[in-house]
């Protein structure tokens, strides 16, 4: 009987490890995104004492060969001119805050912490309305793919959280029954 119990125990961690493989992959992607956001944040800070309009003009007109008289270039340069040092600091701070969230989520998921599953589920679900709004404003294949990936991740995390809650309930019931 003891031997059968051991075999049953061997099956559970194995299934459990496979179950968490996707969480670890999601965590690794979040860590990668967090590190990329840190680089982006530092990039934004490096722009603090530069002429943004001149930089964007050079990049868009000379490097990308856009027509300098086009409506797009005019709009882009007008919007760029509105960005001052204060706005760049705010943008950078927001990017660093977003990076911190990704790093926290990613670390927790890679380490297979239950709290990370809940945090990631809540944060990912919180961004879905904004993604849907963006899709309604203008549909692109990239936005559809991103929204679909995030919906699938939220559904998967919801399933993981519910499955773990069921397992805890089952263990509690077995413990109370003396099994």
Average pLDDT over residues 7-31: 67
Rounded mean pLDDT of 135-141?
Answer: 90
The three-state secondary structure class of 23 is helix
C-alpha closest to that of 154 among 110, 123, 109: 123
What pTM, to 2 d.p., does this model score?
Answer: 0.74
DSSP state of 134: H
Report the chain's C-alpha Rg in angstroms.
Answer: 24
pLDDT band (50, 70, 90) for residue 61: confident
pLDDT of residue 19: 56
pLDDT exceeds cutoff 90 at 64 = no
Of the pLDDT bands very low, low, confident and very high (cuts 50, 70, 90), residue 175 is confident
């Amino acid at each position: 009987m003891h031997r059968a119990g051991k075999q049953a125990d061997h099956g559970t961690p194995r299934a459990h490890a496979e179950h968490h493989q996707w969480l670890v992959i999601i965590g690794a992607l979040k860590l990668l995104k967090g590190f990329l956001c840190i680089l982006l944040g530092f990039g934004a800070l490096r722009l603090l004492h530069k002429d943004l309009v001149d930089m964007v003009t050079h990049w868009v007109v000379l490097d990308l060969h856009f027509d300098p008289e086009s409506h797009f270039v005019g709009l882009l340069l007008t919007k760029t001119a509105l960005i001052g040092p204060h706005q760049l600091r705010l943008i950078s701070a927001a990017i660093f805050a977003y990076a911190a969230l990704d790093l926290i989520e990613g670390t927790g998921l890679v380490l297979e912490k239950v709290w990370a599953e809940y945090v990631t589920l809540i944060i990912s679900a919180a961004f879905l309305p904004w993604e849907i709004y963006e899709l309604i404003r203008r549909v692109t294949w990239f936005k559809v793919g991103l929204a679909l990936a995030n919906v699938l991740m939220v559904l998967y995390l919801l399933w993981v959280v519910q499955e773990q809650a069921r397992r805890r309930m089952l263990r509690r019931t077995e413990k109370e029954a003396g099994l």
